Amino acid sequence: MPFDAPAESANNPVLVEVTRGGAVESRHRGAFAVVDTDGRVVLSAGRVAAPVFPRSAIKPIQALPLIESGAADAFALSDAELAIACASHNGEPDQVEAVTGWLARLGLGAGDLACGGHAPKHEPSARALARAGQAWDGRHDNCSGKHTGFLTLARQLGAPTRGYVGFAHPVQQRVLGVLEQMTGLDDLTAQPRGIDGCGIPTIALPLGNLALAMARFGAADDQPERRQAACRRLRHALAAQPRMIAGTDRLDSAIAQALGPRCLAKTGAEGVYGAALPELGLGLALKIDDGAGRAAEVALLRLLTRLQLLDGAAGDALAGHANPAVTARDGRTVGEIRPAANFPGLGE
Amino acid sequence: MPFDAPAESANNPVLVEVTRGGAVESRHRGAFAVVDTDGRVVLSAGRVAAPVFPRSAIKPIQALPLIESGAADAFALSDAELAIACASHNGEPDQVEAVTGWLARLGLGAGDLACGGHAPKHEPSARALARAGQAWDGRHDNCSGKHTGFLTLARQLGAPTRGYVGFAHPVQQRVLGVLEQMTGLDDLTAQPRGIDGCGIPTIALPLGNLALAMARFGAADDQPERRQAACRRLRHALAAQPRMIAGTDRLDSAIAQALGPRCLAKTGAEGVYGAALPELGLGLALKIDDGAGRAAEVALLRLLTRLQLLDGAAGDALAGHANPAVTARDGRTVGEIRPAANFPGLGE
């Protein structure tokens, strides 16, 4: 399933501009691909065959083995738990509680999470923790749900829970197989590989193949019944528990709240987005060259607008993310983040 | 003093790459100019005539009227106070104390600062404040030293201290005149103008003119004696009080510590740097297209290396900033931030 666009050797175009006063202060280049479940490109711009690390944008696909292995049933996972297995969460109290309870049912704790940990991304939650004299641990890590999913899968596979982040561990190998099937790439071991921030392998994929995986996640009709059921169950969980995927003031949760099962969008570090659009039978992937999340969000919403998903109330609910104000610290609006005037690839 | 490079219409080149595993994950484009005190371009790449907002990189120039007006003598400003007037500081206790004491001598307090305020940039200081149940105020704002300087200048000019951030206020008009002289631009009111994060006007300048201002700040030999003395006094203060310009783990302080009066470097938001190199009679300005500070730092140090300022101990002291590791949260090094293989403009 090769995604070789004619402009593959050219520079990626400017997708997003940041203004101050009447001038453009900063510019973000990038590439995107929107494809159907057969891998046909519906919309694209820039180098869609160049490999990019999907980072956390691939989490919903990484969570499929949790269901397909029987672990989700064996451990009676709730929608909230399945949703947080796909999340880059804020470390807010309800999210940390969900992870804590899930770990406890496994007979495990924060010390079994190999993701490291960091202060909650949600600033008020981080401050509250500090005020209470408490330290953060692995449960506050934005990837702790995914890692708890990996621990659950290890249990289900009868594999050791220690070392589950290693490339050769049965958990990562099971995930690798699902990634190969969903991306249409036969041998992911031949792709560039790195270590993600949370310690697990991350494998670089052409944007087109990441978009294909998202298309199949959203509309897996031609996949085996077990895969279809797993995708359906995860999509349902994400739409039912929109707070779990990200949290307060976060775009992925706002999209899940506004669009429910019509759009399942997942951010990844370094300016990546993946989104499944089940109604349209399409998948979307984008990467900002320089890694800026602020630009990835605005580009994503420009594409969702073009795909006519942001009409009416959904558009109103997401307007602040689609065209964010740049503000001075005294509260004044002094600029904006906006799609480039000639946002490419959208000839209607 | 026009800076029209031949490649003015072309894209800015890639200056910095971010890797993960063996692959390049993100790329940062940008432009830079190194010029002498006559505005002759010694090194450059990209569009050096396109206007960029200098943001906080211009602070040392904005502090000159504080000395030239007689305010620094009238209020017996210390080196630490002059240095923090040029700073984007961390909001650490010694920095907040310096601002607090200075304001008190003016008979003013945090409520007179128009910069707004934010939690200290220095995370441990922010956490300590939260643990102590204290709120941040304008003094913790990274620009509070500059604003206290403006209040001091207002006092010296007999102007109202309220409204000092307005473009028409005597303080900002005095600063404007000095900016015009130092940048070699006759009429800055004709340039694009915006509001900075701290509420004051910021005026877009060609990078070449920002570099010229920095060259003159470092080696003002052909300027009037009063200007020469003001530049000398500020350079001395910055070299004598390296912590005040930024703070713990911050590049500008590390450069001041390692190079003293040989290099006075000042970061600006959205990927800007300005640096005066007095020994060489040169000034430097750079801007990363996408606004990334991580790339601006690496590009600055690549240029300082090329200018042979980072030999020996200084190079060792700054090695961690010149080529920072990308780490996973478990502490492993998983990539690096590095100058692009073909870092442009350095034909030796």
Q: DSSP secondary structure string, A53-117?
A: --GGGGHHHHTHHHHHTSHHHHTT--HHHHHHHT------HHHHHHHHHHHHHTT--GGG--S--
> Is there a contact between B293 and B271 (Cβ–Cβ < 8 Å)?
yes
Q: Look at A22 and B292 and tell me if their CB atoms are within 8 Å.
A: no
> Is there a contact between B195 and A334 (Cβ–Cβ < 8 Å)?
yes
Q: What share of chain A has pLDDT > 90, as a percent?
A: 93
Q: Look at B194 and A25 and tell me if their CB atoms are within 8 Å.
A: yes
At A176, list the tokens.
Answer: 């690798």
The pLDDT value recorded for residue B3 is 67
Question: 3-class SS at A230?
Answer: helix
Q: 3-class secondary structure for B290-341?
A: CCCHHHHHHHHHHHHHHCCCCCHHHHHHHHHHHCCEEECCCCCEEEEEEECC
A85: contact with B, CB 8 A cutoff: no
Q: Look at A329 and B133 and tell me if their CB atoms are within 8 Å.
A: no
Q: Look at B52 and A114 and tell me if their CB atoms are within 8 Å.
A: no
B76: contact with A, CB 8 A cutoff: no
Among A109, A205, A113, smallest CA distance to A150 is for: A113
Neighbouring residues of B252: CB distance < 8 A, sequence distance ≥ 6: B88, B245, B246, B265, B266, B267
User: What ipTM was reported for this prediction?
Assistant: 0.95
At B193, list the tokens.
Answer: 């103008």
How much is the pTM? Answer: 0.96
B312: contact with A, CB 8 A cutoff: no
Task: Suggest the residue from B27, B142, B147, B330 to mutate for an interface test with chain A (most A CBs closer than 10 A).
Answer: B330
DSSP B97: H
Neighbouring residues of A205: CB distance < 8 A, sequence distance ≥ 6: A51, A52, A54, A183, A185, A188, A191, A213
Q: How far is B239 from chain A (nearest CA, A)?
A: 29
Q: Look at B328 and A29 and tell me if their CB atoms are within 8 Å.
A: no
> Is there a contact between A299 and A288 (Cβ–Cβ < 8 Å)?
yes
B290: contact with A, CB 8 A cutoff: yes
Answer yes or no: is B113 within a domain.
Answer: yes
Task: Please say if the pLDDT value at position B2 is more than 70.
Answer: no
Answer yes or no: is B300 within a domain.
Answer: yes
Task: Please say if the pLDDT value at position B348 is more than 50.
Answer: no
Among A245, A218, A227, A228, smallest CA distance to A81 is for: A245
A274: contact with B, CB 8 A cutoff: no
Q: Look at A133 and B131 and tell me if their CB atoms are within 8 Å.
A: yes
Task: Please say if the pLDDT value at position A181 is more than 90.
Answer: yes
The rounded mean pLDDT for chain B is 95
CA separation for the pair A304, A282 (Å, rounded): 11
* Structural domain that includes position A288: 14-339
CA separation for the pair B94, B96 (Å, rounded): 6
Task: Please say if the pLDDT value at position A348 is more than 90.
Answer: no
Bridge partner list, A268 = A272
b/e code A127-166 from CB counts within 10 Å (16+ = b): bebbeeeeebbbbbbbbbbbbbbbbbbbbbbebebeebbe
CATH number, domain containing residue B42: 3.40.710
Domain count, chain B: 1
CA separation for the pair B166, B261 (Å, rounded): 33
B18: contact with A, CB 8 A cutoff: yes
The pLDDT value recorded for residue A142 is 98
> Is there a contact between B203 and B193 (Cβ–Cβ < 8 Å)?
yes
Q: Look at A117 and B329 and tell me if their CB atoms are within 8 Å.
A: yes
Answer yes or no: is B167 within a domain.
Answer: yes
CA separation for the pair A147, A112 (Å, rounded): 9
Average pLDDT over residues A57-74: 98
The pLDDT value recorded for residue A6 is 47
Task: Please say if the pLDDT value at position B39 is more than 90.
Answer: yes
| Chain B residues in contact with A295 (beta carbon < 8 A) | 290
Confidence of residue A56 (pLDDT cuts 50, 70, 90): very high
Task: Please say if the pLDDT value at position B7 is more than 70.
Answer: no
Answer yes or no: is B210 within a domain.
Answer: yes
Q: Look at A27 and B289 and tell me if their CB atoms are within 8 Å.
A: yes
Answer yes or no: is B1 within a domain.
Answer: no
B81: contact with A, CB 8 A cutoff: no
Answer yes or no: is B45 within a domain.
Answer: yes
The pLDDT value recorded for residue A345 is 78
Tens of pLDDT along B20-29?
A: 998 999 999 9
| Chain A residues in contact with B133 (beta carbon < 8 A) | 131
Task: Please say if the pLDDT value at position A128 is more than 80.
Answer: yes
Average pLDDT over residues B93-107: 98
Task: Please say if the pLDDT value at position B327 is more than 60.
Answer: yes
Task: Suggest the residue from A330, A333, A334, A337 to mutate for an interface test with chain B (most B CBs closer than 10 A).
Answer: A330
Q: Which of A21, A52, A116 sits opposite B329 (nearest CB)?
A: A116
Answer yes or no: is B3 within a domain.
Answer: no
Answer yes or no: is A348 within a domain.
Answer: no
Q: How far is B228 from chain A (nearest CA, A)?
A: 32
A164: contact with B, CB 8 A cutoff: no
Q: Look at B192 and A51 and tell me if their CB atoms are within 8 Å.
A: no
